[in-house]
């Protein structure tokens, strides 16, 4: 049976220095009242914040300087992501482009795409959506039916995508399309394209979520023309491309820190010294357990970042972190609810109540977005040679 690897990582001096830098940036932002900390902050869309983060060098950190990056290690980027989430900073505008679209373009995009898009992403000015899921093709991505057909030096895309987060607010979407025969394993004949969401033929319709918010959409492609230079990877290589993109999507601290501000609010609500007389033993045990889990997740996720920094492909370990991490994210509101009496209102008077109300409405999606738990467990089982 294959083994899971989570080698302990000691942060190098560069990453420790970057932590001080990003903390100072976030402190200045807070003191100037430029953002209000919130839960699930990587879903909050604030282009002004993203531009300031870009100017400060916190987007595209690992990319070559020639493309607007900072040539930092993956561990430095990991530290910045953790600090942004822990501060509850509204980093949603640039999050997807920084986390997965930019790295995908850097590795597999054309030189034109790299030169045109990466510096704008790193400057916090250009944002992306993920165009994978379709009606009836969520977990089973290989069954996508959106088609791209070659016409001269361009491609014409027809079909639709669903659950596309922020497609109504961002500039581009990377679409997984069918360009050829699926072959015996159904993974052949797929190709990814960068689609300009302002292009003629793109229609975006809102889907409102459980919390009443407009965060995701349906996107329709009605004969949308895309030049060949906006293709990602080789024609027919889309399956390899999309699974590589998902490895970036699944491995980070956003899979266990979405509720961090609720956890700290719970601790404030219970009192600063769990275990002291005014805090009951049950509360102290519950908080202690959550904090211990958070520590373990942080070490595991940091180990994944270390493996990425060493050029390895820790896809199975990343799937495990997402599976355990998102379960943890769903447990925090359940524990917090036990220690809040009365109905919870997301517009409530104190921060703990508001954060709890907001997380209760968003938490059901945590284990779905980026791949469901059943799918992740299948990947883990396969990686361990169990299926």
- Enumerate binding residues for ligand FAD (CB under 6 A): 129-133, 138-139, 163-165, 216, 365, 368-369, 371-372, 374-375, 378
DSSP of 168-187, one letter per residue? TTSSEEEEEEE-S---TTS-
Alpha-carbon span 363 to 298, nearest angstrom:
20
Quote the least distance from Cβ 365 to ligand FAD, whole Å: 4
Instruction: Please list, in sequence order, all residues whose beta carbon lies within 8 angstroms of the beta carbon of residue 295, skipping any fewer than 6 positions away.
Output: none
CA distance 134 to 154: 23
Whether 228 contacts 154, CB under 8 Å: yes
- DSSP assigned state of 11: P
- By beta-carbon proximity to ligand FAD, the closer residue of 83 and 249 is 249
Is 234 known to be catalytic?
A: no
Q: Which of residues 175 and 307 has its CB atom nearest to ligand FAD in the complex?
A: 175
Nearest to 252 by CA among 291, 302, 299: 302
Look at residue 238 and give its three-state secondary structure: helix
Between residues 139 and 299, which has the closer beta carbon with respect to ligand FAD? Answer: 139
User: Which residues, 6 or more positions from 156, have their beta carbon under 8 angstroms from its beta carbon?
Assistant: 148, 149, 223, 224, 225, 226
Nearer to ligand FAD, 279 or 368 (CB): 368
The residue whose Cβ lies closest to ligand FAD is 138
Cα R_g (the chain), whole angstroms: 21
CB of residue 43 to ligand FAD, shortest distance in Å: 8
| Pick 73 or 133: Cβ nearer ligand FAD | 133
User: Which among 29, 249, 317, 329 is annotated as catalytic?
Assistant: 249
Q: For ligand FAD, give the closer residue by CB, 22 or 232.
A: 232
Strand 172-178 and strand 128-131: the pairing is parallel
Residue whose tokens read 């991490």: 325
How near is the Cβ of 288 to ligand FAD at its closest, in Å?
A: 30
CB 127 within 8 A of CB 46: no
CB of 123 to ligand FAD, least distance (A): 22
Return left, alpha or beta for 385; rule: phi > 0 is left, psi -120 to 50 is alpha, else beta.
Answer: left
Which pair of structure tokens corresponds to residue 190?
Answer: 């797929």
CB 156 within 8 A of CB 223: yes
The set of catalytic residues is: 249
């Amino acid at each position: 049976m294959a083994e899971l690897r989570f080698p302990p990582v000691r942060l190098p001096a560069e990453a420790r220095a970057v932590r001080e830098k990003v903390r100072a940036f976030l402190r200045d932002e807070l003191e100037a009242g430029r953002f209000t900390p919130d839960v699930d902050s990587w879903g909050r869309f604030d282009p002004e914040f993203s531009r300031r983060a870009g100017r400060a060098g916190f987007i595209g950190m690992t990319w070559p300087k020639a493309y607007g990056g900072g040539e930092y290690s993956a561990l430095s980027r990991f530290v910045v992501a953790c600090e942004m989430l822990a501060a509850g900073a509204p980093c949603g505008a640039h999050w997807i482009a920084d986390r997965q679209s930019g790295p995908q373009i850097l590795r597999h995009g054309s030189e034109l795409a790299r030169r045109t898009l990466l510096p704008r992403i790193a400057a916090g000015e250009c944002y992306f959506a993920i165009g994978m899921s379709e009606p009836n093709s969520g977990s089973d991505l290989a069954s996508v039916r959106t088609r791209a057909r070659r016409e001269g030096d361009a491609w014409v895309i027809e079909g639709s995508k669903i659950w596309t987060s922020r497609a109504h607010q961002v500039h581009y979407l990377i679409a997984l399309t069918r360009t050829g025969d699926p072959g015996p394993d159904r993974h052949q004949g797929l190709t990814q394209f960068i689609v300009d969401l302002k292009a003629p033929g793109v229609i975006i319709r809102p889907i409102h979520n459980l919390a009443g918010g407009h965060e995701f959409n349906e996107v329709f492609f009605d004969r949308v023309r895309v030049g060949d230079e906006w293709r990602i990877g080789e024609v027919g290589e889309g399956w390899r491309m999309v699974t590589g993109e998902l490895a970036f999507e699944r491995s980070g601290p956003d899979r266990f820190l979405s509720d961090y501000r609720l956890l700290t609010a719970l601790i404030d609500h219970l009192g600063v010294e769990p275990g002291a007389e005014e805090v009951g033993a049950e509360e102290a045990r519950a908080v202690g357990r959550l904090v211990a889990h958070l520590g373990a997740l942080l070490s595991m996720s940091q180990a994944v970042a270390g493996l990425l920094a060493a050029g390895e492909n820790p896809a199975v370990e990343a799937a495990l972190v997402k599976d355990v991490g998102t379960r943890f994210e769903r447990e925090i509101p359940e524990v917090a609810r036990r220690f809040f009496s009365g109905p919870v209102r997301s517009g409530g008077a104190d921060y703990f109540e508001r954060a709890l109300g907001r997380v209760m409405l968003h938490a059901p999606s945590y284990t779905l977005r980026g791949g469901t738990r059943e799918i992740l467990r299948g990947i883990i089982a396969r990686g361990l040679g169990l299926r």
